Amino acid sequence: MGATVQLLNQGRSSGSGAHGFDGMASGPLSNQTSVSEDGGMLDIPADLPDYCKGATAGKKSMSGIAIDESCVNLFMHMKTRKQYKWLIFKVDDSGRTVVPDKIGGQSSSYNDFVCSLPDGQCRYAVYDYEYRSPERGATKKMVFLLWAPDHSGVKPKMMYASTKDFFKGFLDGIGAELQASEPAEISEDEIRERVLSNMTRK
């Protein structure tokens, strides 16, 4: 017998976003509310605790890409302190290191998160998904996303895909994973189904 999963309130607000969705829009996320004026984003802190203690130092993926320690520190801070709702990461302009890109505060909505993903560029992201099931009550799962839009280019997509598992290996506690090339593939329904699928497998 399958579990029923219900998304908890994500502090939704009004405004407009990068993907052009609003409360009256049609399309893959038309069931979502609008985004807030600032997208629910916070400044990336420069003084996080050193959770990973040099764990990424000197290590590179098969594509030769390193992981900046701040990525792991942000993830651990998100997991332990519950100050962030989502994190977005990118490969820097040099093409050599994964670095933090954007952070969503606890009041940020799911639509804020989706609209913070760039239309034509790849990204990694982690979303702190809250759900309620009859078996477990209110629970959270860290969901890892590889965002690779079709028009982002072959080389970036290959670079992000080949580094994904290497990067994810430093993020202890990921509960579900998905890859998407368009917003419809990361609707709340889709992320809920992925989390539910992982729950029923265990």
- pLDDT number for residue 36: 56
Domain coordinates in residue numbering, the chain: 6-201
Q: Report the pLDDT value the prediction gives residue 44, as an integer from 0 to 100.
A: 87
Q: Is the C-alpha dihedral spanning 177, 191, 140, 86 positive or negative?
A: positive
CATH no. of 6-201: 3.40.20.10
Mean pLDDT by 10 residues, the chain (202 residues): 37 38 32 53 86 90 94 94 93 96 92 92 94 73 94 94 96 92 86 72 52
Q: What is the pLDDT of residue 39?
A: 61
Q: Tell me the CA distances in angstroms from 83 to 45, 49, 91, 168, one per residue in order.
A: 12, 14, 24, 20
Q: What is the predicted pLDDT for the residue at 38?
A: 59
Determine the pLDDT at residue 98. 98
